[in-house]
Amino acid sequence: MPLIETPFVKMHGLGNDFVVLDLRADQDAAAVLRRPELARALADRRRGVGCDQVILIESDATADARLRFLNADGSEAGACGNGTRCAAALMIEGGDGPRLDFVTSFGSLWAERAADGRIRVDMGAPRFGWRDIPLSAAAPTEDLAETLAPALADFPELKPIKIGAASMGNPHCIIIVDDMNRVEVERIGAALEPHPLFPERANIGFVQVLAPDRLRYRVFERGAGVTEACGSGACAALAVTTRLGFCAPKATLQLDGGLLDIEQDAETGRIVMTGPAVAVFEGRLDPQLLEATDA
């Protein structure tokens, strides 16, 4: 494999952190950097740069760019809201803005800078069909409590109000609770993420309704563990709680890393998320890191 010295930017959205690589001018590098073992090496917080996800910005003839999201374990995610905001902020700052069109495996999305400097991202419409999420078998996606009851028997302290599911380009299981302070997010999330009901594993999110227009949200992300924020998960949380009548279609979500404003269009069902995107530092990948992944 040829040696590559590729620039990257370390960014975060509400503490959900990323290594962002703009590969639009180098398709050879893009092919190399899609490798799962390299994503794992970059995400390693002791031996690599350290991040929750690696984001690849690639060229696409039909849009301003194609976005790929690689989890810390090397698996690929179909969507990432915080990551999309970071990629958009980087490109807008670089002169590609003020409004961008992206292609992802979930479909076409747009992003723009809001008047207050935050980034607005169209996250698409949630999908609730059991095959779309996907689930391994037909089940009522508006209430999975009975289906998941055997797995939740190990957590008698958890008394969910409702359990729903949705896809925002990746599978989300949303558990509505009455007191977030009593929820062991890491322990329960780690147990449910690989549940047989979720053939592609799932992001396990916990929601407390503080008011009709304000939600508390915490998450165990598929392939990353507990993170300070998950944009697609926050959108799924709004979609599920709105579907079940617990929340208005426009709300502020309080995550461990900060606040997101999320709104669902009543006609199209598409969800727009607004939040910050912060660049932390720039660097270049040492070719030795790439070579080490061949070992």
Sign of CA dihedral 222, 224, 230, 231: negative
What type of residue is 251? A
DSSP classification of residue 35: -
Q: What are the Cα distances from residue 139, in Å, to 78, 149, 169, 291? A: 22, 13, 19, 46
Instruction: Please tell me the distance from the alpha carbon of residue 20 to that of residue 65, in angstroms, as a whole number.
Output: 13
Residue pair 263/114 in contact (Cβ under 8 Å)? The answer is no
Token pair of 95 as six digits: 């002169």
Query: Could you give the CA distance from residue 31 to residue 136 in angstroms, rounded to a whole number?
Result: 32
Choose the catalytic residue: 51, 80, 235, 247: 80
Asked if 80 is an active-site residue, the reply is: yes
Q: Are 238 and 215 in contact (CB under 8 A)?
A: yes
Distance in angstroms (rounded) separating the CA atoms of residues 163 and 176: 6
For residue 65, what are the contacts with CB-CB under 8 A and spacing of at least 6? Answer: 24, 57, 58, 59, 87, 91, 100, 102, 103
51, 86, 173, 230: the catalytic one is: 230
- Pairing relationship of beta strands 203-211 and 171-177 according to DSSP bridges: parallel
Distance CA 165, CA 126 (A): 10
* Active site (catalytic) residues: 80, 230
